[in-house]
Amino acid sequence: MNIKTSDLKTVLSTHSDIQLVDVRTPEEYAEGKINNAINIDVTSDNFEERVSNSLKKDSPVYLYCRSGGRSVIASKILINKGFEVYNLEGGYINWESKAN
């Protein structure tokens, strides 16, 4: 399921313990991220293992990448593993463009 930037901002302001995952590379993550996001690179060999070890299935997972493509791939993997997933429309680029 996709989520708009404004809706994610609302979730972040009302829930301090959400599972927010940046699925970009560590290099991209280092250049800028959404506060409290953890980095699990969807292109890494151990993505599924890291997801299983890092995320709780009883809480929704919010995903983003640069523009929305890689997070769709990550969403499908997580949904197949039984997670409830929300994908940020337009990714980090969209988030940054609406930061003000």
Write out the catalytic residue numbers. Answer: 65
Task: Give just the sign of the alpha carbon dihedral 8, 26, 23, 97.
Answer: positive
